[in-house]
Structure 1
Amino acid sequence: MPETALVCEDSRRFGDLRGVQWRIQLGILPSSPSASIDDLRRVTANSRRRYAALRRQLLVDPQISNDGNHTDSMWGRFFRNAELERMVDQDLTRLYPERGSYFQTTRCQGMLRRILLLWCLRHQEYGYRQGMHELLAPLLYVLNVDVKRLSEARKFY
């Protein structure tokens, strides 16, 4: 079966879960229709481990140093990260005020902030640009809606 046919089959299989579609298209979830639930769990767990490792590597708090080594470069990274966080926060406070019930919650703002900070620190050649938060927000919203739908399906079945 050609690869495009597999993608079309996956589209029908997860048609109501746009977030799953995006995960497949981004290569986060396997695109094979024969992927088992265990495969999906394994891939998800691996993604979460990579994310946690990236957070440990890039987000610096010199007051909580693992090895007691408080170097000037660590403090420099901490203050650069804090400046980046202030820039991101300026945009996040103005994010879709008409949808304040979701986008202005502490939980949502925290997720958006962490994702944007990590992406910018990982891709320093691009840095942060005004409006990046508006690209990320719809993706986060769709993923949140999918989680709610899956939770409702679990209760029902």
Structure 2
Amino acid sequence: MPRNPYRITVVGLIASAAFGVYLATVPLGLVAMLAVAPQDPGKLVTVPVFIGVGALTGLLVARATRPRNATAHKRRRRRLVVAGAATMPLTAFVGQLDLVIHDDAVGPQLGGFIFCCGAVGVVSYYVRRRRAAVRMRHERADAAVTKRRERELANH
């Protein structure tokens, strides 16, 4: 039996944790953007730039995950470009949270929230890989049983 029966990789764990952390920063960035916009509308000038950066990031992720993702390339590319363009500007505003939150006790709670989202990303990666491995194992076992039955019928 292989040492890693679920084919879990360190790169996959790191990427899933990073994705969880990235998604955790989106709602915090939205709060910061909504709070900072009335005070300093000049900061909203950066939003179109980050939309472009997010779209480019989506294209890069679509290209990097091409061999692992079974969906059609155009659809995957379109979805990731839209997701990047929608989330990157919000993530960029996380740095403005210190202008919005004046309570020192909230910072550790937000850090804990972001850490927990990263941990959820790791757990979801593990569960997804385990289910895929178990499904493949069952499919191989079913194929072996079917092949054995066909051989038995052919011999009789």
Which protein shows a greater Rg? 2
- Structures share a fold, TM > 0.5? no
Interval containing the TM-score (normalised by the shorter chain): 0.3 to 0.5
Q: TM-score, normalised by structure 2?
A: 0.34
Q: Does 1 or 2 have the higher relative contact order (CA < 8 Å, sep 6+)?
A: 2
Q: TM-score, normalised by structure 1?
A: 0.33
- Structure with more of its chain in helix, by fraction: 2
